[in-house]
Amino acid sequence: DIQMTQSPSSLSASVGDRVTITCRASQDISNYLNWYQQKPGKAPKLLIYDASYLEIGVPSRFSGSGSGTVLTFTISSLQPEDIATYYCQQYDNVPYTFGQGTKLEIK
Amino acid sequence: QMQLVQSGAEVKKTGSSVKISCKASGYTFTSRLLHWVRQAPGQAFEWMGWITPFNGNTNYAQKLQGRVTITRDRSINTAYMELSSLRSEDTAMYFCARSKGSGPVAFDIWGQGTMVTVSS
């Protein structure tokens, strides 16, 4: 199975900050990676697919980049409503696997 | 609007089985793969398998082979996930999720989740 190592596991930042989360894959996954946001008690929400494509309706402050084994997710200007846990998910191979998540808090 | 609605929470005994439903509405049920994903408390998401609602083809995570069965009823736009020989480590929130399209395996619509608690 492809292991997805997500870092950091938690992050505290101020409103307006630029925030970056990294996912490292145990093998080359090209750009076969998605990013999700999950708020407490809710199902995840798809934000980015194919590493860098913004899902319809998702604010443009969210972005993704990278390919191969290191992929990143960025919030360009953190907003209070962005408080959530963020997950990466690879689909290069079954079983599709997820990172452990990054819990984002407001400083 | 497009949505997936799952059946309610379940409490099961060790060794028994559970069957969860996922009803699709607002889109053509047969047009997209339907996946099952679970999240145990404090753990990462775990992909369990998918079904092609059009023809019923399935693909399961090897770890769960022999214990998981995903089916569908096209007449009522509903998919089902049955997990047998339940263990305490199967205690988790179970989600159904739709594949975005024929390209990326991205889950663009999710059910609300079904909590399954397994105890002796």
CB contact under 8 A, B95 and A95: no
Substitution target in A10, A37, A49, A56 with the highest count of B β-carbons within 10 Å is: A49
For A49, the closest chain B residue by CA position comes to B106
Tokens of B117: 């608690």
A97 inside 8 A of chain B by CB: yes
Encode pLDDT of A36-88 as tens digits.
999 999 999 999 999 999 999 999 999 999 999 999 999 999 999 999 999 99
d(Cα A94, Cα B61) in Å, to the nearest integer? 7
For B112, the closest chain A residue by CA position comes to A43
d(Cα A91, Cα B36) in Å, to the nearest integer? 14
Question: Along chain B (120 residues), what's the average pLDDT of each consecutive run of 10 residues?
Answer: 97 98 97 96 94 96 96 98 97 97 89 96
d(Cα B27, Cα A47) in Å, to the nearest integer? 20
Q: Which residues of A51-69 are buried (b: 16+ CB within 10 A; e: fewer)?
A: bbbebeebeeebbbebeee
CB contact under 8 A, B106 and A99: no
CB contact under 8 A, A50 and B103: yes
